[in-house]
Structure 1
């Protein structure tokens, strides 16, 4: 079912965050490198939330991973990101496929956790970088 799956991370799952979940991801994935996707990054509270954008000047920066065990990784991370067995409009995040760009200029189809609630009361992070 899962073949060569990639995951783009931009927040608490970043390699440099060095928390339990980022360490879990590093054990079950190989870092491809740094990259970005077209979107906007917001300060939600103690974590960021990104939304997609069609404006190519708006970018969210992060790490791209190639997953060694996608089924396990998605099971654990979906729960961590507040996604139930079936994704709903009430979930904090949703997992979607996006086109991400590597530092080397390559394009990859990656999964990413997108913020699923309104952003009008949130502070935009103009740099597109969480850390």
Structure 2
């Protein structure tokens, strides 16, 4: 069985954690319908909702998913679920995605469905 992974935050190309996926096949950009993104500051939160979330799909081995579960704080911060994603050419498949478990109240919704990583500077 293939393990497809839909990423929408720090794991995307150019993101601070993309190095984890850089050696695995990039299958293309895709969108997930029925979800909303929230900006939590250093990373986004994808939750069920009335929007679209845009991201990237990778083909990864099972052991990488297990490692990413730890990185993403499963099962406390996020949970991993199989969801339907649709590529730009209309092809769809089921891919794993990390769904946020916390409360998004008070955080800004990302209306575009596309998260861009910011650089944070912390005073020393």
Report TM bin, short chain.
0.7 to 0.9
Say how many residue pairs are matched.
Answer: 115
Distance in 1 separating the partners of 2:100 and 2:85:
17
* 1:16 corresponds to 2:14: yes
Q: Distance in 2 between matches of 1:7 and 1:48?
A: 16
Aligned to 2:55: 62
Tell me which of 110, 116, 119 is aligned to 1:125. 110
Greater per-residue helix proportion: 1
**Does the residue aligned with 1:11 lie in a helix, a strand or coil?**
coil
Structure 1 residues not aligned, in runs of 5+: none
| TM superposition outliers: structure 1 runs of 4+ over 4 Å | none
Unaligned runs of 5+ in 2: 117-124
Q: RMSD of the TM alignment (CA)?
A: 1.1
Q: What is the DSSP-based 3-state SS (H/G/I as helix, E as strand, rest coil) of the residue aligned with 1:79?
A: helix
Distance 2:19 2:72 in 1: 15
Question: Which residue of structure 2 lines up, in the alignment, with residue 82 of structure 1?
Answer: 73
Q: Secondary structure of the equivalent of 1:128?
A: coil
TM-score, structure 1 as length reference? 0.83
C-alpha distance in 2, partners of 1:80/1:15?
17
Equivalent position SS for 2:19: helix
Aligned residue for 2:84, secondary structure, equals strand
Match of 2:21 in 1: 25
